[in-house]
Chains A and B, each alone.
Chain A
């Protein structure tokens, strides 16, 4: 029986329910020192003097300051090398790294931080992208290092060096002005989304040591071991084979653990200390290590009376904070996705990635799309309201369809968005235009409303994933992969794919943790790409093994390969079950005894990329589509919103493990719910105000809606393994606008354009409309 599409139990279950699962902070190495980071108290300042000698002298600790990095280029970054291991001449945000200390115990390291003297000369601060783009703003990276083209897709953005604009992406089709002129109604609004944090419960953690041979070994909580290896090799002038990156279980990441975070620090410290160094940061520091881009989105849309969208112009500005990290790609993705999953003849889409004096913003589940989706899906309901149309009908009239050309020129395949929307309509009981009216409750002051939204998102393209599979003589197999088990269930899903490809029982397949000494290159465990890309590679590697088994058996049976099959680990002649061989027997046929191994290996590169001048080409190896619906209750006296029901439907191509798809999607939905209602990192002139779980709330079971449902649509993708495509981020985009639309419907059309939908904002909006 096929294991594809089965709710196979997770292989990491026993380790996780017993507390035995090992995370980076659980690792203790002989002689290991503990590190602490001295962080800037200023959002922007020149570093006049840094003196760590007292700390070293009095406490015998090992420190790294800029003085220790003189013989090397201390800057790193996946796209632009603009972030130093520790502050060199300036600090660029409150929380920026100035020095690091390693000591026998954490409290000694902590004490040592107080002994490091820092003299700052404050510099002018820019804390939002508008201020950063204004004339006369201080330019944060005047001496920017040139962008590296480690990633081929980064050729399609324009990098700038003379302002705080790090990069620009632009794409257009048709003639947007002519389209506006041709439209019956125009809508132009500005939407905003604040900085939020990923909230992975496992803080970042990394451990490094240097072997006597000069090899650097790093255990780290990362989403992309192969890229960490490249970046460390580059920083320390080593061949990649002299850097070994090992990743145990990772306690959530959602993008925050992509690209170097603590790895350069522990590598530098352990080199000087000549001992292993572990750095596990505090929750407060997590807020200074990675955040989601705040964004402002100006969107103008021209519509005909019949509801046809004719033209759309979007300018989206992404606040990438002090360092570029992967911001240029995030902004690029948001840029071309800003038109939404709609056929719009004339489009003009631009996105900016802008430096400010805030913590570096990088990858975050949804990758630039939730910001623009908030804008285009909110506006969509305003359009429907003004035209007197059912918002579902308006969407359906314009939704992209199979084989359509996306604005980038991609031909879209595996487009089941109509079905996603239908499922949501049914699940929340949407009844046409009447569902846009407030639903009265029997509690005075409380009104309810329904809302929905849709989304389209791409995956990083081109990208590489390599897998290697080893079949042992006893018929068990190991998949060697650098994909990270981060909670999504990759160990289980990939095992299902390998078992199916070879024809083995599922419990005969195991999947390794990433260890770059053994596991082949994988670009990243992110962008919802693991099942699609690594799954494809693993499947092909499995098929190679299957072919070898069949080849050997065909000699033995004197039967053609086509007449053989492998079922549950035995190779047999189709229709003649008596004619069968076990895998040990096949090995014996081949090697003379049940010894040795058979190998399969496959490197899958998705092709594509965009032209830097036109922004066109092939943006994505697959597109994922989703719809969401919500019911909210608003207390019009306090402005407080409660989400009563939230549902999503995602086109997954083919669910390898449906239960894990639902669960993973519920994670996206819950984060979206937090970002819609209350999540927001606040800054006071560049100083973080709520960088702790006491002040920055994550959704708890108390916020959990009564109904919370994730549904799947399966429109097979021709290149995905067994038709599967990615879905790990799909629920995130449409949930916030579905909630926003439900709130607007509850309030008779009152539109809130800034997230989060805090009670005082609701009250303000009601007051402005004269409803309060």
Chain B
């Protein structure tokens, strides 16, 4: 039987009715028209369906939509504000950290999760955190460079905003 749930998607509270066997990915794509998250494998391995659930990256192909009740979901469509790219998106663009682009929304969401969790990851931490996001085009070096540039930029910003020592 379909069930009503209340969930926050990209900062908007939604009351939706979902079938119990529907995955979050299916609901996002088919019912809400959010088609940035894509299905590469359907079994939680490739990461192309990654979204943030309460700020943590989750494979939306494995999560039942009913479990979104009361949660906060962020998809690739929700990371840019008023047409302005997020720092992670900007870094992906600047480093050209994509080729075919099919893994890219999932990869970006995983990085969004990483920097929320650990704003200052070293390369080993980056590799480890992103090892669940597959890119067959082989763009890993550019992705690592993109994450590093986000980290460097964030660090520079904090340093600039720190009051100068007297």
A: residues with CB less than 8 A from B are 9-10, 12-23, 25-26, 107, 198-203, 249-252, 254, 280, 282-283, 486-489, 659-660, 663-664, 666-671, 692-694, 698-702, 704, 708
Contact = CB atoms under 8 A, between A and B. Distances in A.
A58 to B, nearest CB: 20
Interface stretch (B1-9, B35-43, B64-72, B155-163): B35-43
Given A20-B36, A694-B45, A250 B138 contact: no
Nearest to B86: A17
Nearest to B78: A19
Contacts of A18: 36, 76-77, 80, 85, 89
Contacts of B35: 19, 22, 26
B134 A698 contact: yes
Given A19-B36, A23-B102, A701 B139 contact: no
A15 B36 CA distance: 10
Given A487-B137, A668-B138, A16 B104 contact: yes
Interface string B127-142: 1101111111111111
Contact of A663 (B21, B103, B142): B142
A162 to B, nearest CB: 39
A699 B134 CA distance: 7
A164 to B, nearest CB: 31
A201 B135 contact: yes
Nearest to B37: A19
15 contacts: A16-B101, A17-B93, A18-B77, A18-B85, A19-B35, A19-B37, A19-B105, A203-B40, A251-B100, A283-B40, A487-B99, A670-B136, A693-B46, A700-B134, A704-B127
Contacts of B134: 199, 201, 693, 698, 700
B43 A692 contact: yes
Contacts, number: 156
Contacts of A22: 35
Given A201-B102, A701-B130, A23 B136 contact: no
A336 to B, nearest CB: 28
Contacts of B98: 10, 13, 16-17, 487
Given A201-B48, A702-B128, 14 more contacts: A10-B96, A13-B96, A198-B136, A200-B100, A202-B100, A666-B141, A667-B99, A692-B41, A693-B40, A693-B45, A700-B131, A701-B130, A701-B140, A701-B144
Contact of B93 (A14, A200, A670): A14
A551 to B, nearest CB: 38
B1 to A, nearest CB: 15
A769 B57 CA distance: 48
A608 B139 CA distance: 35
B interface residue count range (under 10 / 10 to 19 / 20 to 34 / 35 or more):
35 or more
Given A14-B93, A671-B136, A486 B100 contact: yes
Contacts of A199: 134, 136
A13 B92 CA distance: 8
A13 B101 CA distance: 9
Contacts of A16: 98, 101, 104
A664 B137 CA distance: 7
A468 B97 CA distance: 30
B85 A17 contact: yes
Nearest to A10: B96
Contacts of A21: 101
Contacts of A693: 40-41, 43, 45-46, 134
Nearest to B76: A19
A283 B42 contact: yes
Contact of A667 (B126, B130, B136): B136
